Structure 1
Amino acid sequence: MELAELLLTSTHGIAFTGAGISTPSGIPDFRGPQGLWKKYPQELSSASYLKSDPRGFWEFYAFRLRAMDSVSPNPAHYALAELERMGLIKYVITQNIDGLHQDAGSRNVIELHGTSRRFYCEECGRQFERREVLEKVQSGELPPRCQCGGLIRPAVVLFDEPVHRIGEALTIAQESDLVLVVGSSLTVYPANLIPQVVKENGGRLVIINMEETPLDHVADLVIRERVEEVLPKTVKRVKEIVGLSN
C-alpha cells in the first residue's frame, strides 16, 4: 500500500520528525555523514558544559543560533501542515528546535527538545526572544546576560537534561494508528520510543529517511528518498485519490 493510501485509511495519524526534515532548509543535521556531531563533540551542547564554561558554550551556540536565524520552511514542512489541515495528521511530534513546522502552518506541534526561539535567565526567569539574544551575541556579549546579571540560556533540552512533554507524546502515540517518521535516525532516546509505541500498539510505521534506521526491519513502508520531494508528492496523490486535484 502506498503512503497516500495509508494516510487515507488511518484514523489517527501522526508525524515524528527529526533533523532530516530541516536539512533542505539549510540547517545541518546531527548524525548524518556531514552531521554536526561529526565535526564537534556533543558535550559542547550539554548543561554541564554550560555550567562549567558559559563563554565556551555560547561561542558554540552562537554559531547554531546564526545558522537558524534566516532559514525558512521547505516543501516537506508545508506538506505536513497541509496533511494536518486535511485531518490526516493529528500531531507533529518533533525532535527539532527550529520552529519551522509552526512557520509552515502546523498547529499541533509537540517540541520534545524545546525551542531555539525563546531564551530565559537562569536567575530571575525573564524571557527573551531570539532576536534580543542574537543582538547581544553579535555585539560580543558572550555569554549573554540578563539585566539582573544572570546567565541567559536557550529554552532547549541540552544533553543531560530531561526531554520535554515526553509523557504527552507517548500518550498520543498509544492512540495513533499510523506514524510517519520523517528525517530521523531514530537513535535518540527517549524520543525514539514514539514510533515504537505506535507499532507495538498495532499501528503502521512509515519511515522516510535517506539513511538506515534501527526500526527499518519492522516498518510497513520504508522510503529512501528526499523528504522535500516525497511529502509534496504524497499530498498531491492524496488529493487525486479523493478528487481534489486541479
Structure 2
Amino acid sequence: MIETVIQVLKNAKSISVLTGAGISVNAGIPDFRGETGIYTRGLYSENVFDIDYFFENPKPFYDFVRVMYPVFEKAKPTLAHKFLADLDHNHSVCIVTQNIDLLHEKAGSKNVIHLHGSVERSHCLKCGKEYSFERLKELVIKSAVPYCESCGGLIKPDIVFFSEPVIDFDKAIECVSASDIFFALGTSLEVYPANSLVQFARGNKILINKKETEMDYLFDIVVHEDLDNFFKELQSKGGIV
C-alpha cells in the first residue's frame, strides 16, 4: 500500500487534503469521536458547540475554552502536519481542515482553508470588536464568560458552531475538484458538508484514518493506521516530499 501511495504522489502535480481531528491527536489535542475523544469519554456534550445553546448559556463552552486554549497554545505540529507542509516544495497543495488549532500554519503550510474557522481571533457579537487569541485567553481566566470591554456584548470565537454555515466551502470544492490526489486524513467523515468533498474529487482518492468510516468505499486507497506512523514509513521508503 505504501508503494502505491508513493507512486501516486510521484505522478501528481496538485494535491488536496481534508484533515480532521485525528491529525492533531498526537499533538495532545483530543479528537471528538475517537477512542479517547471528548464525546466518547463524556467530557463535553455536543450541545456545548451548538450555536443556539451558546446564545442561551455560553458558560459550558467557555469552560471548554478555559481548558483547551492552553492546550492549543502549547501544541506543536505532528509528523503528518510537517509532511503536508513539505509537500508544498514540489507540489501545489491545498489543505481543507475541519480543525481550529492552526497546526497546519505552525507546520508551514501556506494554502489552508478553515471550514470551521480557527481560534486565532474572536469578535464581540454586539459591536464587532476584535479580540486576539491571547486576549481572550486572559479574559476567560478572569471571568466565567467574557464580555466586550467596549460595549458589554458577548464575545464569540471565530469558529463555526453547529447550525452555522461553514466557511469558504466553494473554495474547498474548487481546490478538491482541480487536484490530482485527494487525501482525507484523520477524519471520521461524519460531519457534513466536509464529508461531501470526496464526491468532488476527480483524481486518486486516499483515506488514512485509524478507524473504518461509512465512506471507505468511496476511496481508491484506504489505510487504517496512525497518521504519523504511516507518513514515517512512507518517508523511510522514499516517499516524495
TM-score by length of 2: 0.92
1:235: how far off? 4.1
How far apart, in 1, do the equivalents of 2:61 and 2:24 lie? 23
| Alignment correspondent of 1:37 | 39
| Alignment correspondent of 2:226 | 226
1:167: how far off? 1.1
Is the Cα–Cα contact under 8 Å of residues 183 and 210 in structure 1 kept in the other structure? Answer: yes
1:229: how far off? 2.0
Consecutive aligned runs of 4 or more in structure 1 exceeding 4 Å deviation? none
Structure 2 residue 129 is the aligned partner of structure 1 residue 129 = no
1:218: how far off? 2.9
How far apart, in 2, do the equivalents of 1:217 and 1:50 lie? 36
SS class of match (1:36): coil
Q: State the percentage of identical aligned residues.
A: 35
Greater mean alpha carbon deviation, residues 62-71 or residues 221-230: 62-71
Structure 2 residue 212 is the aligned partner of structure 1 residue 209 = no
Equivalent position to 1:102, from 92, 105, 115: 105
Q: How does 1:83-98 map to 2 (within 5 A)?
A: 83-87=87-91, 89-98=92-101
Equivalent position to 1:192, from 170, 195, 198: 195
Is the Cα–Cα contact under 8 Å of residues 186 and 208 in structure 2 kept in the other structure? Answer: yes
Equivalent position to 2:16, from 5, 9, 14: 14
Deviation string 1:27-54 (CA, Å, 9 cap, x unpaired) is 0001112211221210111111110012
How far apart, in 2, do the equivalents of 1:68 and 1:113 lie? 15
Structure 2 residue 50 is the aligned partner of structure 1 residue 49 = no
Structure 2 residue 25 is the aligned partner of structure 1 residue 23 = yes
Structure 2 residue 79 is the aligned partner of structure 1 residue 75 = yes
| Alignment correspondent of 2:239 | 238
What code does the residue aligned with 2:205 have? Answer: L
1:209: how far off? 0.6
Is the Cα–Cα contact under 8 Å of residues 20 and 187 in structure 2 kept in the other structure? Answer: yes
Aligned residue pairs total 235
Deviation string 1:156-193 (CA, Å, 9 cap, x unpaired) is 00011111111110121121221111101111100011
SS class of match (1:58): helix
Is the Cα–Cα contact under 8 Å of residues 198 and 218 in structure 2 kept in the other structure? Answer: no
SS class of match (1:207): strand
What code does the residue aligned with 1:158 have? Answer: F
Is the Cα–Cα contact under 8 Å of residues 137 and 144 in structure 1 kept in the other structure? Answer: yes
1:60: how far off? 2.9
| Alignment correspondent of 1:159 | 162
TM-score by length of 1: 0.90
SS class of match (1:179): strand
How far apart, in 2, do the equivalents of 1:134 and 1:74 lie? 24
Tell me how large the CA RMSD over aligned residues is.
1.6
SS class of match (1:91): strand
Is the Cα–Cα contact under 8 Å of residues 80 and 231 in structure 1 kept in the other structure? Answer: no
Q: How does 1:128-147 map to 2 (within 5 A)?
A: 128-139=131-142, 141-147=143-149
Structure 2 residue 67 is the aligned partner of structure 1 residue 63 = yes
1:85: how far off? 1.9
- Structure 1: gaps spanning 5 or more residues: none
SS class of match (1:120): strand
How far apart, in 2, do the equivalents of 1:210 and 1:143 lie? 36
What code does the residue aligned with 1:16 have? Answer: L
Is the Cα–Cα contact under 8 Å of residues 123 and 130 in structure 2 kept in the other structure? Answer: yes
What code does the residue aligned with 1:238 have? Answer: G
How far apart, in 2, do the equivalents of 1:171 and 1:12 lie? 12
